[in-house]
Amino acid sequence: MRKACAVSLLVLIAAFALAQAPNFDYPFMLTNSAGYIVENNVYDIPTFGDWDDDGDLDMMVGVFYNGNIFYYQNISTGVTPEFAAYSILQADGVNIVVTYG
């Protein structure tokens, strides 16, 4: 039993030794044909999902300065996403506003 634990520990140590640290690239501003996506806001919270059920990833961005949620439809027909101008998410004709925190 002790030998099996020692071998397991060595395998675990080897796995950590071979693991590479994550490589984060430099940030860049997301753009579409209208310009920067949520320009001049440093606290954007983007999330991606197939919101319109057409097989590609659309983007929603939570906006810190006003609490709105911006929806950017992916209008690309290829591999590289291309986002349309935003629309603000609404419920019953009223903008959805969320607080921070």
pLDDT single digits (tens) 12-54: 555 555 667 777 777 767 777 777 776 666 677 788 999 999 9
Q: Which pLDDT band holds residue 7 (cuts at 50, 70, 90)?
A: very low
The answer to whether position 74 is within a domain reads yes
Asked whether the beta carbons of 61 and 45 are under 8 A apart, the reply is yes
Domain count within the chain: 1
Asked whether the beta carbons of 76 and 59 are under 8 A apart, the reply is no
The answer to whether position 100 is within a domain reads no
- Confidence check: pLDDT of 58 > 70: yes
Q: What is the pTM of this model?
A: 0.65
- Confidence check: pLDDT of 56 > 70: yes
Supply the range of the domain harboring residue 91.
Answer: 25-95
The answer to whether position 17 is within a domain reads no
Q: Which residue is associated with the tokens 């439809």?
A: 73
DSSP character at residue 64: T
The answer to whether position 4 is within a domain reads no
